[in-house]
Amino acid sequence: SLEITSGAEMAQTNTVGFVGAGKMATAMAKGFIESGLFHSSNTFASCPANWDSSEIQEAGVTVYDENAQVAEKVNILILAVKPDVVKEVLQELSATIAKRNLLVISVAAGVAIESMEKALEKPARIIRVMPNTPALYPGYGACVFCPNSICTSEDAALAEKMFSSLGFCSQIDEKLIDAVTGLSGSGPAYVFTFIEALSDGGVKMGLPRDLSTKLAAQTVLGAAKMVTASGTHPAVLRDAVASPGGTTIHGLHALEQGGLRNAVINAVEAATKRSTEMG
């Protein structure tokens, strides 16, 4: 059974295994181990022998070439394979998942809970998680999770604890997951574009590129920090820095003329619709 008391006790009692040992598995393993939620000796992964798994091994994770070797050792099994591999992995491990009553967590984009349930012979506790790429740096991820109907409140609390170690984490209804994909899933790419444009503006006004990009990125990081740390509505923060007749209000007017807000809303809408089509 799962224990969720304190982080330290959780590390003693729970074992976690990743099926797939790529970028996302490595990011999660690092976050879980660094935050003390799991001991590296309780953290396992599997991937085909011909794939490079050196990075996750450097994080202290023991890697096997057979998925079953991991499923036999753990009580939490995290599917961190590409979406098109999820079904075959579930079919392969179906008997072990049932026999050992494993909690199954999937981070695969676009793979619905229902399709995972159908791939298993017996009902299992499944949690679908949608993380984003900044989770590669523990503390900077934004992720949501949805437990299936037979998960207990302990399972949900455990998922919350685990994924909070990667950054912001919230439980949602699965019907909202496409919108989350359109916002925080695809969002880093929108923000990269904004940072690049901000840097271009600096270069146009005479700043060297390197300095300009560093200032642009740090400005985005700092503004995001102000929103998260203060909990204040962004409009209030914006108003506070726009002094009458000053530089900022002139800049803001130019942004409105360029339709920034409209473009960003359209981006979230377009990506959400695309995610719906793919799911």
CB 130 within 8 A of CB 144: yes
Among 28, 29, 109, 146, binds ligand NAD (CB under 6 A): 109
The beta strands (E) that lie in the chain are given as 16-19, 43-46, 62-64, 76-79, 103-106, 125-130, 141-147, 167-171
Binding segment (CB under 6 A) for ligand NAD, from list 46-54, 150-158, 206-214, 231-239: 46-54
47 burial class (0-12, 13-18, 19+ CB within 10 angstroms)?
Answer: buried
Please, what's the b/e burial string for 144-167 (b: 16 or more CB within 10 A of its CB; e: otherwise)? bbbbbeebeeebbebbbbbbbbbb
* Residue 107 near ligand NAD by CB under 6 A: yes
Which residue in the set 17, 20, 31, 138 belongs to the binding site for ligand NAD (CB under 6 A)? 20
**d(Cα 116, Cα 128) in Å, to the nearest integer?**
9
Question: Of these, 131, 138, 147, 167, which contacts ligand NAD (CB under 6 A)?
Answer: 131
Residue 42 to residue 57: CA distance in whole angstroms: 13
Is there binding between residue 87 and ligand NAD (CB under 6 A)? no
Point out which span in 5-13, 107-115, 152-160, 164-172 binds ligand NAD (CB under 6 A).
Answer: 107-115
CB of 204 to ligand NAD, least distance (A): 32
Please identify which residue in 12, 82, 218, 254 interacts with ligand NAD, judged by CB under 6 A: 82
Q: At closest approach, how far in Å is the CB of 259 from ligand NAD?
A: 29
Q: For binding to ligand NAD (CB under 6 A), which residues are involved?
A: 19-25, 46-48, 51, 67, 80-83, 85, 89, 107-109, 131-133
